[in-house]
Amino acid sequence: MKALHLKIIKYMRLFHVLRIISACIIAFSIDIFFKIPYATWAPITIIVVMSAKYSGEVSDKASQRILGTTIGAILGLSLYFFPSDNVYWHYGLLVAMLSVSLYFTLGKYSYSAILTSVTLVLVAGSGPGDLHIALWRTTNVLWGGLVAIIASQYLFPAKATDHFKLACGDFLRLFHQNYSEHNALVNSDDVYREVQLVKLRQTLNKITALESSIGHETPEMKLSVKKAIACQVRMFNLLENIVQTQWRHQYSKEKVQEIRALSKAKEQLSQMCELLGEDLLDSEKPLMVLNKKQLEILALYPKLSASVDSRTDISYYGYLWLNRELARQVAELSEWLCQFETIKNDLL
C-alpha cells in the first residue's frame, strides 16, 4: 500500500478537511472568475455531498444529488409554464409533485428523492416568480456536485478498499497477539487469566462497517470482501470460545498441555496470521495463500482413549476441533484476501 494512502487513512479527519476546503476554494475561484449569480449554492452542495468518508460514497451521493436536483428542477420549472397569476394551479401541482417524490424517500434512492423534493421547493416553492433565480440555483447545484465528484477522486482520495486492507492487517496482527497469549497461558501453571479481545472486536467492527462503502466504490469486490469479513467474524467467534473457556480446569488439561505437537501447531497458525497481516501492508509483496496441507494443526487427529471415563477426553476433543476449525477459516481468509488484492490490482 502506498505511503500516501496509508497517511490518508491514518489522518482521515485532517485530509477530509483539506479535501473539502480545496473543493470549496475551487468553487469560490470559479465564482470570482465567471461572476456566477447565486454561486453560494455550489459550495453548499460540495460541503453536503463531501461529508461522506470515502470517495465511492461521495461519488454515489453526488450522483444522487445531481439526479435528484435535475428531476426536481425539471418538475419545478415546468410549473412556470402556467400564467404567473394562476397561484392555485401552481401550488396544487407543486403539492402533488412533492407528494410523489416524498413517497420514494424511504426507498433505494432515498437521497435522490429527498433532493428532488428540496429542489422542487427551492425552484417553485415561492410561487410563480423569478425564473432566473430558479435556473441559476439548479445550475450551481449541478456544477457543485461535479466538482465534489472530481475532488473526491483526485484530491487526497480516501479509498474504502485501502482502509479495508489496513484494518484486515491490524485484525490479523491483533489476532496473532491474542492467540499467542492464550497458547502461552494454556501451557503455563499460572492462575487462570482470560485474554482480552476488546481491541480485536473494535477492529472487526471497523472492518464490517466498510462493506457498504466498498460496494459503492468498487462493486467488483463485493463478493470477496463479504466472504473475507465472514471469515474474520468466524475467526473472532472461535477465538472467543477458545479463550473464554478455562481449559486448564477441564479434565483433559494434562492432555492439552502435554501434547507438544498441538502447542507447536497452534504457534505455527499464529505466526501465519502475523505474516498474512504483514503482507497486506506491503504493496511490493504478493499476498500469501495458505495451503491447508501446510497447517500442522489440520494433520492432528484425536486418538480415542481406552478409558471408560469419557470425561478425560471430551474437553480435549472440543479444544482440538475449535483450533482446527480456526485454521480452516484462516486458510479460507487468505484465499478471499488474495482474490480481493487481484481485483484491486486489475482495476488500477
Compute the distance between CA of residue 197 and CA of residue 212 in angstroms, rounded to an integer.
25
C-alpha cell at 338: 488474495
Q: C-alpha 327: how far from its chain's center?
A: 25
138: pLDDT confidence band, cut at 50, 70 and 90? confident
Residue 214: pLDDT over 90: yes
Mean pLDDT for the stretch of residues 117-144: 77
C-alpha cell at 158: 480516501
First to last CA, the chain: 12
pLDDT at 183: 87
Residue partners of 208: CB distance under 8 A and separation at least 6: 229, 233
pLDDT at 150: 92
Q: Among the listed ranges 173-182, 198-207, 229-238, 337-346, which one has the minimum average pLDDT value? A: 337-346
pLDDT tens, residue by residue, 2-43:
678 888 988 999 999 999 999 999 999 999 999 999 898 899
Task: Return the number of other C-beta atoms located less than 10 Å from residue 187's C-beta.
Answer: 17
pLDDT at 87: 78
Q: Among the listed ranges 10-14, 55-59, 247-251, 282-286, which one has the minimum average pLDDT value? A: 247-251
pLDDT at 340: 93
Mean pLDDT for the stretch of residues 68-84: 82
C-alpha cell at 49: 455531498
Q: Is 142 exposed, middle or buried (0-12, 13-18, 19+ CB in 10 A)?
A: middle
Contact 127, 91 (CB under 8 A): yes
102: pLDDT confidence band, cut at 50, 70 and 90? very high
Q: Which residue has the higher pLDDT, 196 or 85?
A: 196
Residue 163: pLDDT over 90: yes
Q: Which residue has the higher pLDDT, 195 or 283?
A: 195
Q: Among the listed ranges 235-239, 318-322, 341-345, which one has the minimum average pLDDT value? A: 318-322
Residue 206: pLDDT over 70: yes
Mean pLDDT for the stretch of residues 292-313: 67
Rama region for 29: left / alpha / beta (φ>0; ψ in -120 to 50; rest): alpha
306: pLDDT confidence band, cut at 50, 70 and 90? low
pLDDT tens, residue by residue, 221-261:
999 999 999 999 999 999 999 888 765 555 555 555 555 67
| Average pLDDT value over all residues in the chain | 85
pLDDT at 237: 96
Q: Which amino acid is at 162?
A: D
Report the length, in residues, of the chain: 348
Q: Which amino acid is at 345?
A: N
Identify which of 51-60, 131-140, 181-190 has the greatest average pLDDT. 51-60
If you write DSSP's letter for every residue of 85-126 in order, what string do you get? T-HHHHHHHHHHHHHHHHHGGGSTTHHHHHHHHHHHHHHHTT
pTM flag (> 0.85): no
Angle at 344 (CA atoms; ends 343, 346), nearest 5 degrees: 65
pLDDT at 9: 87
Compute the distance between CA of residue 332 and CA of residue 36 in angstroms, rounded to an integer.
56
Look-up: residue for cell 480446569? 249
Q: Half-sphere exposure of 153 toward its Cβ, with a 13 Å CA cutoff?
A: 11
Compute the distance between CA of residue 77 and CA of residue 214 in angstroms, rounded to an integer.
37
Compute the distance between CA of residue 262 and CA of residue 320 in angstroms, rounded to an integer.
8
pLDDT at 192: 65
Compute the distance between CA of residue 270 and CA of residue 254 in angstroms, rounded to an integer.
22
User: In this structure, what DSSP letter does residue 249 have?
Assistant: G
Nearest Cα neighbor of 75 from 90, 61, 60 is 90
pLDDT at 334: 95
pLDDT at 277: 92
Alpha-helical segments (H) within the chain: 3-10, 12-34, 41-49, 55-78, 87-103, 110-124, 131-154, 160-186, 198-209, 211-217, 222-244, 253-258, 260-281, 311-347
Residue partners of 247: CB distance under 8 A and separation at least 6: 186, 253, 256, 315, 319
pLDDT at 118: 82
pLDDT at 336: 95
C-alpha cell at 57: 460514497
Mean pLDDT for the stretch of residues 288-296: 84
